[in-house]
Structure 1
Amino acid sequence: MAALLALAGAAWWWQLRVPFAPGTAGATYAVQLQNGQMFYGVLRRQERGYLELVEVYYVQPYTLPNGQPGNRVVSRQKNDWHGPTTLSVPIERIVYVEAVGPESPLARLIAQDKVRGPR
């Protein structure tokens, strides 16, 4: 039991000691959470224990009239009932963080949504 507690304590200390470095502030990232949710947003800042995203989107699947599956990007600020402007994610809930390519289909869909403006 003591060895297990020592191991857990060492892991906790190591997590606090080693900085989490997702990337450059101002760039767009994909963030997958432990529960499977994916969010896409601009990294505003990273503090000890969490990172903060702005301009946050998620992908929503739907079915076209012909039965084919489709996906749409959804702005949390424009479409979620409470209009959130930021998303603070505890680092311990993050599975991975990846940069979104500026020419990726996702980046193009987000750019199109931004051109449309507020709803």
Structure 2
Amino acid sequence: MGKLSTHVLDTMHGKPAEGVAMRLYAVQGDTRKLLKQAVTNHDGRCDAPLLEGGNLEAGVYELVFEAGDYFAGQGVTLPEPRFVDQVVLRFGIARPNENYHVPLVVTPWTYSTYRGS
């Protein structure tokens, strides 16, 4: 059975991003359904997979990371409005029996992601 996991790396400070709030949604057309809320731990990860086993289904998902709030909490002076604030990653899962790792690499000025396993 597959699983969905994530982690956040703060490349401005060169460390895992502890304390980033996030939400996971299932997306169908214009409708989003909240599936889970979590906050990253000391290693920038969630304590458990976001979804796993029978709860991981083929479809479209969104992860919303509160990156701007994280950097403000780190004492970073940010412009208003923030350049990077909420980071929304919309992605598809085609094979729910596989592992999907969707990390966020972020600074106040840029972000990226990739599919890990």
TM superposition score normalised by structure 1 = 0.27
Higher Cα radius of gyration? 1
TM superposition score normalised by structure 2 = 0.28
Greater relative contact order: 1 or 2 (C-alpha under 8 angstroms, separation 6 or more)? Answer: 2
Higher helix share goes to which structure?
A: 1
